[in-house]
Structure 1
Amino acid sequence: MAKDDEKDRKARIENLQRKIEEMTGEKPISFGSGRCSPELKEKFWEYVLAFEEGQHSPLFDTLVNGGLSLPTPDELADQDLEKKLWEIIYALALLGVFLHNTDHLNDRELYEDLWQDVLREDYFIQPANKDYACHLDMIGSGSEEDLLIFLQYYADEGEREWWKNEYPQDDFPAPEPTPYDRDRHLPKREEWEEGQC
């Protein structure tokens, strides 16, 4: 890269960071290996600015405004539940939103969690940006309950061993197979881009 191009890119990155600081009131920081190319650094700060400038809204509202009906869990009969759940899952994938770690929940429990909590949170989405995805981990809250679910159903032996070594005083649940088989069928970002879903 020519010296002038380097200066121009550095100036653009500084401008992006200044705009982010003006919006957030905080000086932006990032951590990296130092091996990141200047082009990638600039793209990173462009994404951060887009995120800060973007509209954050509940996914529930986005889905309803897009024409998807979302009846209350009590209004949904058992025989209609699976179909409605997959409508939501595929509608979310079209928005670039992908679910993870759902196999410990039956269909009704997952629908209730989505309807009552997860879809009510504000999210920033960019459906037209193929480089962007929002990942919703159904055990990603950081709560003790979610950690125990992770250790019981999703952690491999190495992960369980790490937790036992870090917290030897704690009791952890015995590993169990997940009671449901949904996760392997969930849309993935890379599949969605290739039209495989």
Structure 2
Amino acid sequence: MDMRETRRQTIDEVELMLANARLRDELEPYRDESIESSINRMSLQAENEYLASMLAWERAPALPISDWFSPPLHLLPPDALGDSQLSHRLKKTIQKLYSKNIVLRCTDHLCDRELYTIIYRDILPCCEKKVDVPGKALEWMCVEDTETWLRFYATPVERRRYQEEFDCELPPSETPKHRRQLPGN
């Protein structure tokens, strides 16, 4: 290693330490013991990324998801659309949601109309923090009950653990009817 490399590493480390101090100062009003216990095992670079994501979360506004878009994303009611119109709008809406880092999970048990209805009724009006952190997404689980999750999405290990923990009969495992390739999945 030559002298220039050593000097560059020193400068990089000093910059990381200064950034760390600035992030900690900015997080001070939001600070609690969970920050300290989480970062004790991280490199300085990882700690700074973690602190920056926490700061972004704390400062992010909570808005209805429909207002994350410009203009706001408004959908026609599900019963106002025919099946082909609805399917087309559903695909476009899923792409729009993904453009704002909103990823839908566990949708394959739902027909297009049911999924569109969940987006229209539950997702778009829901207030969530709009956090713009690279690589982070808001994941929306489209399963409303444990039985559906156990039936269609739980792995054999998850099913066994659930059965052991709750000492109950499980629904049969099934393959969902509506296989989708959604962005982010």
TM over 0.5, shorter chain: yes
- The answer to whether residue 95 in structure 2 is matched with residue 85 in structure 1 is no
Most deviating of 107-116 and 53-62: 53-62
Residue of structure 1 equivalent to 2:63 = 57
Is the 1:82–1:107 Cα contact (8 Å) retained in structure 2? yes
Question: Structure 2 unaligned runs (5+)?
Answer: 1-8
1:15 to 25, 41, 61: 25
- The SS at the match of 1:136 is strand
Q: Higher Cα Rg: structure 1 or 2?
A: 2
SS in 2 for 1:47: helix
Unaligned runs of 5+ in 1: 22-26, 140-144, 190-197
Identity %: 26
- Report the counterpart of residue 121 of structure 1 in structure 2: 126
Work out whether residues 98 and 135 of structure 1, in 8 Å CA contact, stay in contact via their aligned partners in 2.
Answer: yes
Runs of 4+ off more than 4 Å: none
Question: CA 1:19–1:39 in 2, change beyond 3 Å: closer, same or farther?
Answer: farther
- Which one of 33, 44, 47 corresponds to residue 53 of structure 2? 47
CA RMSD, aligned part only?
2.6
The structural deviation recorded for 1:10 is 5.1
SS of the equivalent of 2:124 reads helix
Task: Supply the distance in 2 between the matched residues of 1:109 and 1:70 (Cα, whole angstroms).
Answer: 14
Code of the residue aligned with 1:19 in structure 2: it is P
Is the Cα–Cα contact under 8 Å of residues 85 and 111 in structure 1 kept in the other structure? yes
Please report how far the alpha carbon of residue 188 of structure 1 lies from its aligned counterpart in structure 2 after TM superposition: 1.2
Match of 1:107 in 2: 112
1:24 corresponds in structure 2 to: none
Q: How far did residue 33 of structure 1 move?
A: 7.5
Give the TM-score normalised by structure 1: 0.76
**Residue in 2 aligned with 1:136?**
140
How many residue pairs match? The answer is 174
Deviation of 1:19 after TM superposition, in Å, equals 3.5
Partner of 1:37: 43
Q: Kindly provide the amino acid, as one letter, of the partner of residue 14 in structure 1.
A: R
d(CA) in 1 for partners of 2:171, 2:39: 37
| Map of 2:160 onto structure 1 | 161
Q: CA deviation at 1:15?
A: 0.8
